[in-house]
A = this chain, B = another copy of it.
Amino acid sequence: MADSPSFLNDQKQTLQINKKAGSEALVEPLKLGERVKALRLSQNLTLEEAAQRAGLARSTLSKIENEQVSPTFAVVSKLVAGLGINIPQLFTQPEPEQTGGGRRDITRAGQAEPHPTKTYDHELHATQLSQKKMIPFKTRVHARSIDEFGQWVRHGGEEFLYVLSGEVMLYTEFYEPVALSTGDSAYYDCTMGHALVSLSEQDAEVLWVTA
């Protein structure tokens, strides 16, 4: 594929593996009751209110929270719907607070990891961090015509694009091309083919973040 930034695919892989690993912990010791209670309290709901919303009996909820019963799937569903919880949230351990889990990575203006292609010159930021949710990179767009792309660039996820300097034309598979000037941004689904060309004299510079 023409100029599809290969590092994007790499990361995708990693991401998926992580998610899986994350929810794996829950195998047994998952304290469902605790979680439900925490979630209920976080919404400042009383047993009565919560039960009402979920269409359950006060008593039932109480028992669930105190781990006195193993609720039926139907009940869990009601709970989820009623309290506006989402399943992963319910079943995923409250994140052991990623002990010491505050990561940070600084990338200096000139120091980003270069990644040149025929049409773009990418500079990867935050390369010290693996398993991150987003991939940020700054790109110099030297393509001047859509013809320079063999075919649509296309990959998984969503992309946020911000024009740092110059002017670009954003071509996408399902929309008319749109011109973007400095300060404009676009957010789009990357499974849709997309390509960027510079309209300005100088190569345009854009910031891209993929997730």
Residue ranges of A at the interface with B (Cβ–Cβ < 8 Å): 16-17, 19-20, 22-24, 26-28, 30, 32, 70-78, 80-81, 84-89, 91-92, 97-98, 100-110, 112, 125-126, 129, 132-134, 136, 138, 157-158, 160, 162, 164, 170, 172-175, 178, 180-189, 191-192, 207, 209, 211
Contact = CB atoms under 8 A, between A and B. Distances in A.
A20 B84 contact: yes
A102 B192 contact: yes
A126 to B, nearest CB: 4
Q: How many copies does the complex hold?
A: 2
Contact of A134 (B76, B78, B134): B134
Contact of A106 (B133, B138, B185): B185
B132 A19 contact: no
A148 B183 CA distance: 28
Given A102-B175, A108-B184, A134-B209, 10 more contacts: A19-B86, A20-B84, A20-B85, A23-B86, A26-B87, A102-B172, A103-B188, A106-B178, A106-B180, A125-B160
A133 B158 contact: yes
